[in-house]
């Protein structure tokens, strides 16, 4: 391991051995529908949306282990989190597995955070295999952060649709597959955004901070990457990110930038407003579509920057702003 200021270069190149993504119908009808391992009913046959989210998490975890050819006893430590109060989805999913758990909280940046810590544990020989996972659910998120669906609330154009689904990755010291070659943890950036229906704006400044500093510290340029992939900025946030990087650093990433929240839905045909969001959005996209493109060598070098809006169920009611945090991992074919 080599450290460049705040960026870790992983010299043993831990493997992103396998990934699995399980989503609900609307994501299954989107442009990446065929990429996901399973498309399930949003209820998952459970009695509550929270239990349903947990069932998506459990299914993705089970499939990722299977695809990696690993059992729960092979996992030295599982890193996971979600958006629900007290990470309820993660806790009730992972209690079914006999493995040590390190619960994480990074809002929608959780998948990148879990992959970053999981890869560092493998890099340093602390683990042979780690699990990294995250989940979200449209219905549990609307109920918790906005209004129960039954209220029929209107959503403004800047609102994003929380993805119903989960993604899980097995990171390993042995096997074959794409590699995780760098990781960088973000700081909290607060531009004072208070509109809880515009999470893209809340997260864009931290994404700009993480991307700019990653490029600067590694002495690379946007064109050195096949893709700079943000987690869930959606259309508004992505637009703001590109503007911020140009205005503040004269750095144009528009040719290589994409966003999991944009990739997962078809804006013209699906009623999703500003794109997808939620921990499950980047988790499901990175663990399926992106993993496949890397595995097949169709993407060489993807800087995956998970973006998190640090909004709680309480803070908007107290007129607190929504700070952002973005964590980055570099994925290479």
Q: Given the rule CB under 8 A, which of 119-127, 173-181, 215-223, 292-300 is the region that contacts a second copy? A: 119-127
Position among 3, 150, 219, 268 found at the interface with a second copy (CB under 8 A): 3
Handedness of CA 270, 154, 109, 104 (dihedral sign): negative
Q: Given the rule CB under 8 A, which of 18-26, 216-224, 297-305, 306-314 is the region that contacts a second copy? A: 306-314
Position among 18, 20, 64, 120 found at the interface with a second copy (CB under 8 A): 120
Position among 19, 118, 186, 205 found at the interface with a second copy (CB under 8 A): 186
For residue 215, give every residue at least 6 positions away whose Cβ sits within 8 Å of its Cβ, in sequence order, or none: 221, 222, 251
Nearer to a second copy, 51 or 198 (CB): 51
Taking the complex as a whole, the smallest distance from the CB of residue 81 to a second copy amounts, in Å, to: 6
Q: Residue 176 CB: number of other CB atoms within 10 A? A: 9
Nearer to a second copy, 239 or 320 (CB): 320
- Quick check: 102 binds a second copy (CB under 8 A)? yes
- Quick check: 113 binds a second copy (CB under 8 A)? yes
Taking the complex as a whole, the smallest distance from the CB of residue 313 to a second copy amounts, in Å, to: 5
Q: Given the rule CB under 8 A, which of 55-63, 150-158, 273-281, 313-321 is the region that contacts a second copy? A: 313-321
- Quick check: 316 binds a second copy (CB under 8 A)? no
CA distance 6 to 19: 27
Total binding residues toward a second copy, as defined by CB under 8 A: 58
- Quick check: 185 binds a second copy (CB under 8 A)? yes
Largest CA distance in the chain: 52
Q: Given the rule CB under 8 A, which of 160-168, 183-191, 254-262, 287-295 is the region that contacts a second copy? A: 183-191
- Quick check: 149 binds a second copy (CB under 8 A)? no
For residue 97, give every residue at least 6 positions away whose Cβ sits within 8 Å of its Cβ, in sequence order, or none: 61, 72, 75, 78
Q: Return the residue matching tokens 């990074």.
A: 106
Q: Given the rule CB under 8 A, which of 55-63, 114-122, 246-254, 296-304 is the region that contacts a second copy? A: 114-122
Query: How many residues are listed for the chain in this entry?
Result: 333
For residue 190, give every residue at least 6 positions away whose Cβ sits within 8 Å of its Cβ, in sequence order, or none: 321, 323, 324
CA 234 to chain centroid: 13
Contact present, 53 and 137 (Cβ < 8 Å): yes
Q: What is the 3-state secondary structure (H, E, C) of 57-75?
A: HHHHHHHHHHHHCCCHHHC
Please list every residue from 58 through 97 that binds a second copy, using CB under 8 A: 76-77, 81, 83-88, 90-92, 94-95, 97
Give the three-class secondary structure for 20.
strand
Position among 41, 69, 71, 124 found at the interface with a second copy (CB under 8 A): 124
Give the three-class secondary structure for 307.
strand
Nearer to a second copy, 42 or 323 (CB): 323
Give the three-class secondary structure for 331.
strand
Report DSSP state, residue 288.
Answer: I
Kindly list the residues in this chain that would bind a second copy in the complex (CB under 8 A). 1, 3, 6, 8, 47-48, 50-51, 76-77, 81, 83-88, 90-92, 94-95, 97-107, 113, 117, 120-121, 124-126, 144, 184-190, 310-315, 318, 320, 323, 325
């Amino acid at each position: 391991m080599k450290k460049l200021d705040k960026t870790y270069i992983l010299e043993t190149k831990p493997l992103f051995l396998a990934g699995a993504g399980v989503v609900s119908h609307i994501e299954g009808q989107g442009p990446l529908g065929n990429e996901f391992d399973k498309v399930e009913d949003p209820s998952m046959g459970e009695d509550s949306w929270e239990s349903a989210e947990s069932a998506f998490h459990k299914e993705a975890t089970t499939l990722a282990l299977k695809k990696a050819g690993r059992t729960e006893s092979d996992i030295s430590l599982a890193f996971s989190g979600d958006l629900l109060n007290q990470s309820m989805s993660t806790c009730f999913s992972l209690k079914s597995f006999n493995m040590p758990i390190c619960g994480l909280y990074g809002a929608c940046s959780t998948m990148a955070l879990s992959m970053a810590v999981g890869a560092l544990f493998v890099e340093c020989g602390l683990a042979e295999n780690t699990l990294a996972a995250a989940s979200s659910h449209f219905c549990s998120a609307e109920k918790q952060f906005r209004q129960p669906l039954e209220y029929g609330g209107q959503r403004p154009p800047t609102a994003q649709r929380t993805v119903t689904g989960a993604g899980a990755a097995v990171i390993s010291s042995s096997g074959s597959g794409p590699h995780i070659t760098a990781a960088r943890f973000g700081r909290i950036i607060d531009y004072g955004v208070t509109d809880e229906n515009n999470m893209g704006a809340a997260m864009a400044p931290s994404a700009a901070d993480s991307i700019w500093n990653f490029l600067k510290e590694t002495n690379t340029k946007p064109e050195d990457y096949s893709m700079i992939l943000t987690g869930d900025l959606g259309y508004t946030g992505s637009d703001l990110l590109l503007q911020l990087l140009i205005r503040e650093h004269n750095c144009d990433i528009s040719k290589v930038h994409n966003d999991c929240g944009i990739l997962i839905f078809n804006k013209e045909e699906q009623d999703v407003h500003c794109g997808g969001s939620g921990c499950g959005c980047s988790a499901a996209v990175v663990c399926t579509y992106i993993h496949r493109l890397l595995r097949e060598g169709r993407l060489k070098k993807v800087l995956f920057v998970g973006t998190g809006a640090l909004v709680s169920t309480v803070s908007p009611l107290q007129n607190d702003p929504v700070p952002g945090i973005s964590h980055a991992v570099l994925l290479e074919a």
